[in-house]
């Protein structure tokens, strides 16, 4: 599958280059189906990490709620998601 970025749900499963999500009103960000214990996921707001997760249970998802807050300069670096998918719910 490829990245889908035109809906209220932004779906990323291909990390072959840096992804600049930009400024959005975010409801939640989910890391779905990381494949291996110890894999990591980092999303940044500008240069500062806004999410840093480490997989503790294979295929268990992680979610952080932002309740519609505006997040500026949200990005995912190429090597920042070792497995799984990123799902961003926007308002």
Is 49 a residue whose pLDDT tops 80?
yes
Average pLDDT, the chain: 93
pTM comes to: 0.89
The answer to whether the beta carbons of residues 80 and 62 sit under 8 Å apart is no
Q: What is the pLDDT of residue 6?
A: 66
**Joined tokens for residue 8:** 């209220």
CB within 8 Å of 90: residues ≥ 6 apart? 8, 9, 10, 24, 25, 26, 27
Identify the structural domains of the chain with CATH numbers, from first to last: 9-90 (2.60.120)
Q: What is the pLDDT of residue 15?
A: 87
Is 1 a residue whose pLDDT tops 60?
no
């Amino acid at each position: 599958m490829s990245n889908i970025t035109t809906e209220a749900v932004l779906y990323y499963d291909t990390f072959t280059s840096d992804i600049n999500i930009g400024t959005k009103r975010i409801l939640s960000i989910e890391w779905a189906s990381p494949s291996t214990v110890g894999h990591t996921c980092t999303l940044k707001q500008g240069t500062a990490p806004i999410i840093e997760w480490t997989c503790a249970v294979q295929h268990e998802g992680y979610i952080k709620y932002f309740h519609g807050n505006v997040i500026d300069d949200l990005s995912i670096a190429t090597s920042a998601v070792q497995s799984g998918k990123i799902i961003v719910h926007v308002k």
